[in-house]
Structure 1
Amino acid sequence: MKGIVSKVALGVAGTGMAVAVAAVAIGPRVSEWYDGRHQEQATYDTGSQAKAERRSMPTWLPDNASSVKYLMSTIGDDRLLRATLPDGRLPSGCTTGLPGKSAHSVPMSLKAGWFPEGVAAKASGSCGHYNVTLTGNQLYAWQDGAAVQAALRAERPTKH
């Protein structure tokens, strides 16, 4: 009888160990799944198509931009955008120069295979609330939701 009890206890302990190992192994996948549930990604042929199909697409994106890729958080204002600009210049209304500190100090919460890591260190201007950099005719733009909300609060008049 003692041998049976030992085997049952060992089996239960082994099952507990297997569950713990499985939890460690799938933990990162669950986190990725959860984060992915709060993101929407889309590809558009042109800037005009992107703006017609997605209300959150920035209005400064030129209609003649091509190969537009867009990733947004559905629980905040974090955004990534990549587009090919035919003339290789920043869109009208954008400004050149180093953007605010938010471009460099806030780690990007969104990641996409088509958006290079470390691009924030190359920020060379801003378009609306987006920080941007232009590499040849390839525009990379990103916005940090917390920085956007802070800017919007600063733009609102205070009530007394």
Structure 2
Amino acid sequence: MSRKTPLVLAAVGIVALGVGAAVAVPAADRWWDGRRQQSSAYATGAKAKQDRRSVPRWLPDEATSVQYAMKTTGGERLLVATTVGARPPAECKPIEGTAPEAEMGAPWFPDAVAGKATLKCGSYFAYQDGTTLTAWSTDREWRDAGSP
């Protein structure tokens, strides 16, 4: 065995560990995020509220095509629903100030929503595009509101 063999073996081992970590860490992060985030779809707002206590009570019972996601470790929430008519729920008021970006994502939730926010619905920031209501809550807003 040459004097370089131990160094080569050590270098190969370090590279292998690095490659393994580069593959394992992102996979573990996706697995952990999947365990902390839950997503559901409901035919109506009434069914969503019946199934999950965390769905906002201001969501109209007659809303349809409800998509809802939440983190189990905090107050991050996402909501997209079709409302009857183009009017937002009565509990939603014009926003004061600027809205933060959503702190989580879902395949059905649009990107870069902060600049579109025109409403504040409880702890949620929201906007209405025709009959589609898009809303999100950050962990801070949720905690400040004392939401369930």
By the TM > 0.5 criterion, same fold? yes
Bin for the TM-score computed over the shorter chain: 0.7 to 0.9
For 1:84-95, list aligned pairs within 5 A.
Answer: 84-95=82-93
Checking the alignment, whether the CA contact within 8 Å between 1:98 and 1:124 is kept in structure 2 is yes
The separation in 2 between residues aligned to 1:50 and 1:139, in whole angstroms, is 15
Q: Distance in 2 between matches of 1:94 and 1:130?
A: 9
Letter in 2 for 1:126: K
Q: Any conservation in 1 of the 2:122–2:145 contact (CA below 8 Å)?
A: no
Partner Cα distance (1:10, 1:63) in 2: 67
Q: Normalised by the size of structure 1, how large is the TM-score?
A: 0.81
Count of matched residue positions in the alignment of Structure 1 and Structure 2: 146
Give the superposition deviation at 1:32: 2.2
Matching residue of 1:81: 79
Q: Which has the higher helix share?
A: 1
1:7-156 correspondence runs (5 A): 7=5, 9-95=7-93, 97-101=94-98, 103-104=99-100, 107-152=101-146
- Find the structure with the greater CA-based Rg: 1
Matched residues in 2 for 1:133 and 1:9: separation?
61
- Distance in 2, Cα, partners of 1:15 & 1:140: 50
Q: What do you get for the CA RMSD once the two structures are aligned?
A: 1.9
- In the alignment, structure 1 segments of 5+ residues that lack a partner are 153-160
